Amino acid sequence: MLFEDFVENPWVLKIIAAMAIVFLGLVLGRFFGNLFRMILKELEIDALLRKKWNIKFNLETSTYYLFSFAIYILAINLALKQLGIATIVLYAISGLILLLAIAIVFFSIKFCYLKYSSYSF
């Protein structure tokens, strides 16, 4: 009797679905992060940046973290939407965090370029 009430409760199904979404997001985040890292490694982007422009920036690892982080945020947003608590504020916070990550990558690339280039601004 108690188990039937527990299983029939719609919140239990929503929580289980949200946990499944988060788990799937973690798996897909690692998968796509590693996929992009392997693609960049095969294209030898880091070696090209070092050789052609003398930029010592590990683009492979940065791309892994950027894509993984974006998919993690998407999975968390989907899980919160499944629970019915995803509001405009949660999307705004996720967008700000993503913009912050992009800005950090941009400024780190710019810093590496300025540090290792012969040009001065």
pLDDT at 72: 92
pLDDT range class, residue 121, cuts 50, 70, 90: low
Is the pLDDT confidence value at 91 over 80?
no
pLDDT at 99: 94
Q: Which helix (H) or strand (E) holds 113?
A: helix 88-116
pLDDT at 68: 92
Nearest alpha carbon to residue 14 among 66, 70, 81, 75: 81
The pTM for the full model equals: 0.65
Q: Which residue has the higher pLDDT, 12 or 28?
A: 28
Is the pLDDT confidence value at 112 over 80?
no
- Asked if 116 and 52 count as a contact pair (C-beta separation under 8 A), the reply is no
Task: For the chain, give the mean pLDDT.
Answer: 83
pLDDT at 10: 79
Distances in Å between the Cα of 66 and the Cα atoms of 11, 12, 46, 58, 60 are 33, 33, 16, 12, 10
Q: Which two tokens stand for residue 64?
A: 């892994």
